[in-house]
Structure 1
């Protein structure tokens, strides 16, 4: 299952698909970290709007992506965590796995976060 990855200016946007297996998520991790370097991206937006569930593996993989991308000089923002998913994550203690990873309600807010970060001089040139 391939994940659509769009390049929008200095940012990459990846929309996770509900049918993705653990193997797909690991492949996505490798692709995103590589593409951040290739395109010298300043930010990565991970859109999880379509996901019906976020288990511990998916949550850990998203955190790993964010950490690896950070080491490549870009910031990650996760968008689209639906209310029922957020409640389930809190009940299962998975919210702590995403500590330190920025989240936003939607793409517009994520772009504003990344743009603000760059205006504050926290982006590489």
Structure 2
């Protein structure tokens, strides 16, 4: 057998082995995709259960009654507004006083404060 014939035989065998390995890679990718779809379905089911559980509590069922009926407490929280995102004004904005009629000059104190000097445009920096 010549070199070219031996090389062709080796390459053909390598291609056959590679094809078998590629088939497995395709099968593995399919299994991984199915797994991901199942994970998404489980997440969706958990969220739905948590939402219905919250509705049951709002409808008057107690947690202990639902547990006694054989239901398991949800493992995730029901979706909704994040905690603390209510419609009330924030405490921070309510605590900031409105500017006085005298402007920045009325807020100036200390040895350099003078009613004859205009206020600086930069807070905390005296005017010259």
Which TM-score tier does this pair reach, normalised by the shorter chain? under 0.3
Task: Give 1 or 2 for the bigger CA radius of gyration.
Answer: 2
RCO greater where, 1 or 2, for CA within 8 Å and sep 6 or more?
1
Relative to its length, the structure with more strand (as a share) is 1
Q: Which has the higher helix share?
A: 2
